[in-house]
Structure 1
């Protein structure tokens, strides 16, 4: 079995064109003997619903601070409307998808993340988990029976209950647990861009560090690439990042690990 993880940001699930491209890629993987699964967040929808409900959105370097009202919004979106929408889209092309979160089937166990230092400031991200254990049993049962798991990024802590978890981090942990042969990280742009705004087909770890230092890799791209390179270090052979439409056009960035 060759599991392939598709990580989808919430903004893409709002785009019929991008979802059509993602669906096409999943169909192709299945036709060629792959075992695709989806991990999704919900950044755009979470922010929109937060604004409607008057809940402040706070982020540091692309990562969300989660208080109790925000966690409730996450349950409505990641655990509800977004997940259902992806499952429905896959069903429309006769793909048997199953919607889940990391809370289901003892899939994940986590503890609340302690405050961390960012730019010399100690930041408490609130109700956000650090996964300590993944039990892939449920995922493996679904994959072996030709289902496509669609997993929303919520996790479980014995002391805190449901917690938020960054979708890129969750994808990394899950890839290691199921022995994924490839991780495809979807985003809004076609590829990582260099200092002249040109797409980069391959990005080494040293180039990533240089890009951060020089400022042409910044904001939410930093945690995405951190996670991607961590996945390479943890044994995922292929990690690629780009937009769904870009992938279909042959444009994306493949990450190259340390020599």
Structure 2
């Protein structure tokens, strides 16, 4: 049975019923199993703002000082994760909420300047395959731990790529845009290594999309197959991708 890792952007939580519509697509796939990895950047922004913290990013990654981590963990592993679980339950699925540690991912500090932003390394035992064997839907937040028990805010795209590699699974990034766009804001249906480098150097792909595209490329290298970027705003896109149609942007070597 084919396994798919689907990374959902946290913005899906801002659109009422969007996650449920995506989950309903999964219920119709009888020959595949799924793992959901999610972020929740807009929710984190709100929680930090309400707590009086300023938000800063570096190279598309949120700077995460230790004093902000209780709010980041609460927003991602708590509120966002349980909101998605609720939508999955409403779609007649059986979700289980997990952290990256549960999924076999070890996290360590990425850069001192980023605070508690962590890496994604598939080095630990994982409960994901056991959950899948029990017909459960793993919904994994991008909160990680190191072996000393310290918690980390991990880029959800990088986390999804690591989990897909550990499961030898297909990988789809569901974002809030239909595809990666060129300089004229037109969708690019396929991108390879050289094209990505050129667009990044020209400043066409930058910020969060740069992280997503470069993570997709690294994932394609590890998986030895294409990785997809498409929009969660159209559930039919997910259905088409699962059926093998070319939707959104395919990242290849």
Output the CA distance in 2 between the equivalents of 1:241 and 1:64.
21
Give the TM-score taking structure 2 as reference length.
Answer: 0.90
CA contact 1:176–1:236 (8 Å) conserved in 2: no
After the TM superposition, which of the residue ranges 54-63 and 234-243 deviates more from structure 2? 234-243
Structure 2 alignment gaps of length 5 or more: 241-246
Output the CA distance in 1 between the equivalents of 2:140 and 2:65.
22
Aligned counterpart, 2:202? 214
Residues 1:32 and 1:200: Cα distance change in structure 2 (over 3 Å)? farther
Output the CA distance in 2 between the equivalents of 1:240 and 1:131.
20
CA deviation after TM superposition for structure 1 residue 131, in Å: 3.0
Residues 1:228 and 1:35: Cα distance change in structure 2 (over 3 Å)? same
Output the CA distance in 2 between the equivalents of 1:55 and 1:173.
30
Residues 1:35 and 1:96: Cα distance change in structure 2 (over 3 Å)? same
Matched, 1:83 2:72: no
Aligned counterpart, 2:27? 27
Aligned length: 245
Q: Which runs of 4+ in 1 moved over 6 A?
A: none
Aligned counterpart, 2:44? 46
Matched, 1:252 2:248: yes
After the TM superposition, which of the residue ranges 241-250 and 157-166 deviates more from structure 2? 241-250
Residues 1:17 and 1:197: Cα distance change in structure 2 (over 3 Å)? farther
Matched, 1:55 2:53: yes
Matched, 1:198 2:191: no
Aligned counterpart, 2:244? none
Aligned counterpart, 1:71? 69
Structure 1 alignment gaps of length 5 or more: 116-123
After the TM superposition, which of the residue ranges 19-28 and 39-48 deviates more from structure 2? 19-28
Matched, 1:3 2:3: yes
Output the CA distance in 1 between the equivalents of 2:180 and 2:21.
19
Give the TM-score taking structure 1 as reference length.
Answer: 0.88
CA deviation after TM superposition for structure 1 residue 247, in Å: 5.9
Matched, 1:132 2:136: no
Output the CA distance in 2 between the equivalents of 1:83 and 1:241.
21
CA deviation after TM superposition for structure 1 residue 236, in Å: 5.2
CA deviation after TM superposition for structure 1 residue 16, in Å: 2.1
CA contact 2:102–2:128 (8 Å) conserved in 1: no
Q: Report 1:110-129 matches (<5 A).
A: 110-115=107-112, 124-129=113-118
Deviations 1:18-41 (A, max 9, x none): 32442233223xx23111110001
Aligned counterpart, 2:133? 144
Deviations 1:167-186 (A, max 9, x none): 01111111111111x11101
